[in-house]
Amino acid sequence: MTQRLFIAVILLNFAFAKAQSEKFTLSGTISEQLNGETMIGVNVLIPELSTGTASNEYGFYSITLPAGTYQVVYSFIGYKNIQKEIVLNGDTQINISMEESDEQLDAIVIKADVEKLSTQSPQMSVNALAIETIKKIPVVLGETDIVKSLVLLPGVTNAGEGAAGFNVRGGAADQNLVLLDEATLYQSDHLFGFFSVFNPDAIKDLKLYKGGIPARYGGRVSSVLDIYQRDGNRNKFGATGGIGLVASRLLLEGPIQKEKSSFLIGGRSSYAHLFLPLFNIDNKAYFYDLNAKLSFTLDDRNRLYFSSYFGRDVFTVNEFFGNTFGNSFANVRWNHVFNNKWFANTSLIYSDYSYGLELDFVEFEFTSGITNLNAKYDLTHYLNDKTKMRYGVNSIYYEFDPGRIVPTTETSPINEQQLTKKYAWENGLYVDGEFEITDKININAGLRLSTFSRLGQDNIGVYENNQAVVFNDELQIYESVDPIETTSASRGTALKTFANLEPRFSIAYSLDDDTSFKASYQRITQYIHLISNTNAPTPFDLYAPSGTFVEPQIGNQVAAGFFKNMGDYSFETEAFYKTVDHRLDYIDGADLIANDNIEQILLSGEARAYGLELLFRKNKGKLQGWIAYTLSRSEQRTPGRTLEETGINNGEWYSAAWDKTHDLTITSSYELNKKWSMGANFTLQTGQPVTYPNGQYEFDGLFIPTYEARNSSRLPLIHRLDVSATYVPKPDKTKGWQSSWVFSIYNAYNRRNAASVSFAQNEETGRNEATRLSIFGVVPAVTYNFKF
């Protein structure tokens, strides 16, 4: 009997031991209780094992642990922590609904690195802004603007008031990959940079990667702005909107089938132009956006999403000039969970940017644009609690249409012409891993293989010596050359193919729970280039693909940083150095408009940027905010191709148009009481680079200034204070009609910041003058926001 018992005990022991060493996966989807919206980045912590994970872009989480019973904590800023006791003796699926916290939802929230998990994460150089924060930041004309809010962070700037696009760590505006629900957007602004294309009510999450860009992203050298739209309330119908001075917005959402599917449809439009006829001005300038999304949970393992966006800017001047341009996209995505450890997302995307111009006095219409079809497959493998692998493939087919010009009347002087369309096929294949090496060291290592094939087209120029630009020695200028012949090739052939390996690496070393050092390296290839020789992008600037005459841009960036959490405060600093090879530059006097053979005006140069970013934040309490300071330099040079050639600007380094030596931003918000909160931003920056004249002459009745070295001077210092006050009349109301008023004053002390300086002769007085243009003086605004 005792022998049997003994054997039984031993067997039981083995059985138990076997069970002990066996691992099981805990996974599921995390959503908001209120509306069923999936939640990104929710921390799933198992404190007793000092480990955890976070939910992905689709709310899915997975962690593999040894069998046992654990207290699992689900936590996310602004929501009540959920603690569950989980007995893990088999693969378990637990879906979680998070409830918003009753505590005063503190005004400014930067998704915290306060949790130990995040300081340990090797992901650095990323800023994630909560949409609630962005809505409270005062901006011009009271319209919430994601891009303008990003500019308040260190390392992000723009080329001046009214300049479109944004610049990250000294990079050009075309070097940012802007993704909305995984679709590429080619323009992030409306009305020349005064508004962004993002309807804040439709946004769930956004992250800006300034460096340490993971291998799953590619194609743009400087940054990735990854934005996810909300899915729509799965439980009940609702609407959110706002009425402002210049623009209004409305978003409708609700379930299609309760808790299983939802829809979201939002629109935004400006209407200031409706008042212009009162002043006898028959011009129109307005924009509109439409966002639509459908989300379906097919079953426990499958979700399907349809998203689309359509936005346009419209300018007309009294019927003799009309201009329309904007982005649009449609995509379908399918999430599939294989077996709790494997999460896959398949996306099929169509996106385009189109530009249209009509000039009645010359009787023609001009349209141009870029279209792409994109198929992506991304797979995440939650190997175990220390390892997460990602694999994926991304394929993009591009069509570039430089323009089609069509006469609008029979008497038009214009002949119909289609400029040569260009085609290309870009592919990316990546593997990426997050590894916890020790409990102090985490690394993220990845490799991306990118290829780009420039496909056949009509009108391929063949040039003598393969040179489309020659240097005229006598006159010391570059000149365009006509091709000696033109050939064509079918779209199925590749004129030129590029392949590049892009290693990505980042490492985090934690000194303790609150302190860490991080370092990263990235190499990224950019195959399409925005052809623009103005200081900031204009709507008719088009992208051109790499090919026989244009090499892809290759960017390398190293960054190192120090991060510390100190209770209510946190401090981070990063230093970066980046170089870009094959940055395009233009010969003097280059004519970019409707140019079919841009190889005749291009020269290849290089760019580099380096800097130090400091960010000091107060994350809790009634007063919250941050102080961001960036000291940096961004420059470019284009030396001659041979010793005899001068290059651009004599082959010397010159400041990029967006170079800002000092950039200080102080953003703050103060919760006065339940009904009132105040916000203030202060910006202090070095003025934009500018080229000053060093003389002048008259020729053929024209007044011509002569100039110094490119961008060798600076416009005056820029500084500005913006303030806002938000009033919530019924702060405790959570059902029915909820509203708030936002009063803001942009540029409170009316500082005339120079956007540009022009040099001309005053026609009336005959005096030579420098005239400073400043765009916004003090601009007060009121916006009424509502929700039901």
Partner 1 sequence: MKKLFTLLLLVLTITSCEDVIELDLNNTAPRLVIDAELELNEDGTTLATVLLTRSNAFYQEEIITVDDAIVTVTDENGTVFNFNLVALGVYENTSLNIQPGASYTLTIIDGSDIYTATQRFVNTVPYTRVEQNNISGFGDLVEITGFFNDPAGEENYYLFELIDHTTPSNSEIDIIDDEFSDGNEALTVFFIDEEDLPVGSDLTLVIRGIDRRAFTFYDTLIQQTDDGGGGTFNAQPATVRGNIINTTNPEKFPFGYFRVSEVFKIDYTVVANP
Binding to partner 1 (CB under 8 A) within 240-269 occurs at none
- Complex with partner 1: residue 568 or 588, whichever CB lies closer: 588
For partner 1, which residue of 2, 415, 438, 466 counts as binding (CB under 8 A)? Answer: 415
The region of 21-29, 198-206, 606-614, 695-703 touching partner 1 under the rule CB under 8 A is: 695-703
Candidates 291, 290, 376, 299; CA nearest to 333 is 376
Q: Which residues are bridge partners to 156 per DSSP?
A: 168
Judge whether 336 and 304 are in contact, CB under 8 Å. no
Judge whether 234 and 301 are in contact, CB under 8 Å. no
Q: Determine if 139 is a binding residue for partner 1 (CB under 8 A).
A: no
Q: Determine if 777 is a binding residue for partner 1 (CB under 8 A).
A: yes
- Complex with partner 1: residue 696 or 734, whichever CB lies closer: 696
Chain residues 594-633 in contact with partner 1, contact rule CB under 8 A: 594
What would the two tokens of residue 716 be? 């005056």
Q: Determine if 538 is a binding residue for partner 1 (CB under 8 A).
A: yes
Which sign does the torsion angle of CA 645, 650, 654, 658 carry?
Answer: negative
Chain residues 276-315 in contact with partner 1, contact rule CB under 8 A: 280, 282-283, 285, 315
Judge whether 672 and 662 are in contact, CB under 8 Å. no
Judge whether 324 and 318 are in contact, CB under 8 Å. no
Judge whether 211 and 576 are in contact, CB under 8 Å. yes
For partner 1, which residue of 296, 306, 310, 321 counts as binding (CB under 8 A)? Answer: 321
Q: Determine if 320 is a binding residue for partner 1 (CB under 8 A).
A: yes
The Cα–Cα gap between 387 and 389 comes to: 7
Candidates 678, 675, 607; CA nearest to 639 is 607
The region of 90-98, 141-149, 199-207, 754-762 touching partner 1 under the rule CB under 8 A is: 754-762
Interacting residues of 329 by C-beta distance below 8 A, sequence separation 6+? 180, 183, 184, 185, 307, 308, 309, 349, 350, 351, 352
The Cα–Cα gap between 544 and 369 comes to: 10
The region of 178-186, 454-462, 511-519, 697-705 touching partner 1 under the rule CB under 8 A is: 697-705
Q: Determine if 46 is a binding residue for partner 1 (CB under 8 A).
A: no
The region of 114-122, 180-188, 234-242, 698-706 touching partner 1 under the rule CB under 8 A is: 698-706
The region of 139-147, 340-348, 548-556, 762-770 touching partner 1 under the rule CB under 8 A is: 762-770
Residue 83, helix vs strand vs coil: strand
- Least distance (Å) between residue 534 CB and partner 1: 5
The Cα–Cα gap between 240 and 231 comes to: 14
- Complex with partner 1: residue 164 or 723, whichever CB lies closer: 164
Chain residues 708-737 in contact with partner 1, contact rule CB under 8 A: 708, 710, 713, 715
Chain residues 335-374 in contact with partner 1, contact rule CB under 8 A: 361-362, 364
- Least distance (Å) between residue 400 CB and partner 1: 19
Question: CA 465 → CA 134, 470, 549, 613, distances in Å?
Answer: 54, 10, 12, 46
For partner 1, which residue of 379, 414, 429, 495 counts as binding (CB under 8 A)? Answer: 414
Q: Determine if 760 is a binding residue for partner 1 (CB under 8 A).
A: yes
- Complex with partner 1: residue 730 or 772, whichever CB lies closer: 772
- Complex with partner 1: residue 165 or 267, whichever CB lies closer: 165
The Cα–Cα gap between 772 and 399 comes to: 41
Q: What is the DSSP string of 393-444?
A: EEEEEEEEEEEEEEESSTT-SPPPEEPPPEEEEEEEEEEEEEEE-SSSEEEE
For partner 1, which residue of 17, 769, 782, 788 counts as binding (CB under 8 A)? Answer: 769
Number of residues counted as binding partner 1 (CB under 8 A)? 91
Chain residues 463-492 in contact with partner 1, contact rule CB under 8 A: 474-477, 479-480
Chain residues 61-90 in contact with partner 1, contact rule CB under 8 A: none
- Least distance (Å) between residue 641 CB and partner 1: 18
- Least distance (Å) between residue 646 CB and partner 1: 9
- 222 phi and psi, to 5 degrees? -100, -40
Q: Determine if 755 is a binding residue for partner 1 (CB under 8 A).
A: yes
For partner 1, which residue of 90, 492, 695, 736 counts as binding (CB under 8 A)? Answer: 695
Q: Which residues are bridge partners to 187 per DSSP?
A: none
Site string for partner 1, 182-221 (x = CB under 8 A): ----------xx----------------------------
The region of 51-59, 394-402, 428-436, 705-713 touching partner 1 under the rule CB under 8 A is: 705-713
- Least distance (Å) between residue 273 CB and partner 1: 12
- Complex with partner 1: residue 50 or 696, whichever CB lies closer: 696
Q: Determine if 579 is a binding residue for partner 1 (CB under 8 A).
A: no
- DSSP state for residue 146 in the 8-state scheme: H
Q: Determine if 170 is a binding residue for partner 1 (CB under 8 A).
A: no
Q: Which conformational region is residue 700 in: left (phi greater than 0), alpha (psi within -120 to 50 degrees), or beta?
A: left
* 540 CB-contact burial (10 Å; exposed 0-12 / middle 13-18 / buried 19+): middle
Q: Determine if 493 is a binding residue for partner 1 (CB under 8 A).
A: no
What would the two tokens of residue 121 be? 């994460």
The region of 381-389, 445-453, 613-621, 774-782 touching partner 1 under the rule CB under 8 A is: 774-782
The residue assigned the tokens 């302190």 is: 515
Q: Determine if 409 is a binding residue for partner 1 (CB under 8 A).
A: no
* Greatest Cα-to-Cα distance within the chain, rounded to the nearest angstrom: 119
Q: Determine if 749 is a binding residue for partner 1 (CB under 8 A).
A: no
- DSSP state for residue 730 in the 8-state scheme: -
Candidates 678, 577, 575, 572; CA nearest to 624 is 678
Q: Determine if 589 is a binding residue for partner 1 (CB under 8 A).
A: yes
